[in-house]
Amino acid sequence: MQVVTSLAGESWEIDQRVKIGIVGGGQLGRMLALAGYPLGLTFTVLDPAADACAGQVTRHLVEGFDNDTALARLAADADVATFEFENVPVAAVRRLADRLPVHPSADALEVLQDRLTEKRLFQALGMPTAPIATVDTRDDLVAAIGSVGYPAVLKTRRMGYDGRGQYRLQGARDITPAWQRLGGSPLLLEGYVDFRRELSLVAARSVSGDTVFYPLTENTHRDGILRTSRVIHDGMLQASAERHAHALMRRLDYVGVLALEMFDKDGVLIANEAAPRVHNSGHWTIEGAVTSQFENHLRAILDWPLGRTDARGYCAMVNLIGVLPDWRELLGLPGVHAHSYGKAPAPGRKLGHVTIVADTESAGDDLLAAVIRLVAN
């Protein structure tokens, strides 16, 4: 029995309901909560931003991730904790894990937070990757280019997302600006992969080790930000991606949803990145799959049976970036599902997404094209 405070400042008691603590209060936390309420779960998020959009639908502790009092309060308010972005400080996750079960583990997070240890793990598991080299000094960078060649991308080992913390090198003239931009942090130089398309696989593994996989999506980006994801059905690629993800999750004793981003190069999957969380390329699962990635993440960390992951026909997702389209026009497209995260508009900001589910490929592609025209982002 525990007394919590309502939105209106009133009180009531929670009885027999499982309480989830989430580090991070962005749209991923918001969608986790919206998926968990029907399961009878309750949610508290920890996020320093007073306007963190998950806080509109959950209890919200407005404190920094390294605030030990806030972490203790989150732990006291939860039976199980998780996180909704990969740049949460590992130390904070460890401090939480001293107090209650936290999934995924701090160890798994630590490996995947660092692009170097992540790629080395991919390689150790037999997954092809782009050629890589560690860069700590300017001399390292020059040497790395010697082994990796042009074009290449210099990346911070930590704290990158949505294309941030990256600098593309086309030739020797880019060395100085790249070093000026990123030098000082631990870095990684990645060779260029001449890929056909980017794919991702969303997978879930429960405390008991049960594992499920969603169908692959093909993703398009602009300015480093995901724009669209579309479910594809390719038995060979699917099997290959599942083998990789399964090996990775087993090795990490991973619990929760994980997204594996890969390049498709002539039918060979090149592992690019693994996100230890629910993932933007899995948002289509809310309406498109039998069980959403958000529900399966919660089932996984609670060691409940995982739900079916098959797609209900043609499924695609379009991100709403920077500005929301005319809502009436969008909802006027039949079969479209609109999601707004309740965030204030800002350039490059993910404000929502649209899911398209259709019975046939041609109907789905038509609807996808109509949404993209309307969204124009």
Rank residues 115 and 299 by Cβ distance to a second copy and give the closer one: 299
**What 3-state class would DSSP assign to 372?**
helix
Maximum alpha-carbon separation in the chain? 65
Which one, 43 or 85, has the nearer CB to a second copy? Answer: 43
In the complex with a second copy, which residue's Cβ is closer, 51 or 68? Answer: 51
Which amino acid, residue 218? E
CB of 15 to a second copy, least distance (A): 5
Give the nearest distance from C-beta 332 to a second copy in angstroms.
4
The Cα 102–Cα 82 span in angstroms is: 5
CB of 32 to a second copy, least distance (A): 12
Residues interacting with a second copy, by CB under 8 A?
4-13, 15-17, 30, 34, 37-40, 42, 44, 50-51, 55-62, 286, 290, 299, 304-305, 307-308, 312, 324, 327-328, 331-332, 334-335, 337-342, 344, 352, 357
- The H-assigned helical ranges of the chain are 27-36, 68-76, 90-97, 106-113, 115-124, 138-148, 175-182, 235-252, 285-288, 293-301, 327-331, 361-375
Closest contact distance (angstroms) between CB of 305 and a second copy is 4
Residue with tokens 């699917």: 238
Q: How far is the CB of 88 from a second copy (least distance, A)?
A: 19
CB 17 within 8 A of CB 41: yes
What DSSP string runs through 121-174?
A: HHHHTT-----EEEESSHHHHHHHHHHH-SSEEEEESSS--TTTTEEEE-SGGG
**DSSP code of 206?**
-
Closer of 100 and 338 to a second copy (Cβ): 338
Minimum CB distance to a second copy smaller for 173 or for 328: 328
Count other C-beta atoms under 10 Å from residue 344's C-beta.
8
d(C-alpha 334, C-alpha 357), whole Å: 10
Residue 30 or residue 230: which is nearer to a second copy going by CB? Answer: 30
- Least distance in Å: CB of 354 to a second copy? 11
The conformation of residue 93, written as its DSSP 8-state character, comes to H
Toward a second copy, which CB reaches closer, 37 or 150? 37
Q: Which is nearer to a second copy, 182 or 286 (CB)?
A: 286
Task: For the CB of residue 240, give the shortest distance to a second copy in the complex, in Å.
Answer: 25
- Smallest separation, CB 235 to a second copy (Å): 20
Tell me how far, at minimum, the Cβ of 365 lies from a second copy, in Å. 18
Q: Which one-letter DSSP state was computed for residue 320?
A: E
Q: How many of the other CB atoms lie within 10 Å of CB of 58?
A: 25
Shorter beta-carbon distance to a second copy: residue 59 or 119:
59
Residue 232 and residue 216 in contact, taking contact as beta carbons nearer than 8 Å: yes
CA distance 372 to 355: 11
- How many Cβ atoms are within 10 Å of 139's Cβ, its own excluded? 9
The β-bridge partners of 337 are 355
CB of 172 to a second copy, least distance (A): 48
What span, in angstroms and rounded, lies between the C-alpha atoms of 118 and 355?
31
DSSP state of 289: B
Q: Which is nearer to a second copy, 37 or 161 (CB)?
A: 37
